[in-house]
Amino acid sequence: MLTRSQVAARLGRSLATVRRLEGTELHPAKDGRGINRFDAQEVQALAQRLARSGTAAFDDELPWTPSFRDESAEEVVALRADVDRLRLEMNNAQRRATEAEVELRCYQKRTADVLLDLCRELAEFDVELAQLVVAAAEDLERG
């Protein structure tokens, strides 16, 4: 006796499709724990019918679900690989953008700190210059 997952794997179908087949193409029996179990011979017979038909037996099955009779399964696998690669590239680009933003914020902070230090030094210089001007003016008055 097979589980629903095992049936799905043998048929190359999704669990949802196996559930839709219950009561029509497949006739599971509940075990002592209430779990549906499928007769291996019935599943094998259905798999052979599907293989002979060479077409999708169920119109509502998603077109991107690859199976042993699906001629485009290799194309689907390649497309999924492309999607995974693009997703990885996007994640890497987002990570690099975040790192660049952090670096830019650090640079802005360092620049602001340098400007603040320059302003302080300039203020100190202005005070010293003012003191020198006052001293020079006093010296001129004394003569």
Query: Hey, where are the domains in the chain?
Result: 1-70
**How is residue 138 written in tokens?**
């006093």
pTM of the model: 0.39
DSSP H or E run through 35: none
Cα gap 53→14, rounded to integer Å: 18
Give the C-alpha separation, 70 to 33, whole Å. Answer: 35
So what's the architecture of 1-70 in CATH?
Answer: Orthogonal Bundle (1.10)
pLDDT tens digit at each of 143 positions of the chain:
999 999 988 888 888 888 999 988 899 999 999 888 999 999 998 888 887 776 444 544 444 444 545 556 677 777 888 888 999 999 999 999 999 999 999 999 999 999 999 999 999 999 999 999 999 999 898 87
Give 23's Cβ-side CA count (13 Å radius): 3
User: For residue 22, what are the β-bridge partners?
Assistant: 26
Residue with tokens 């219950």: 22
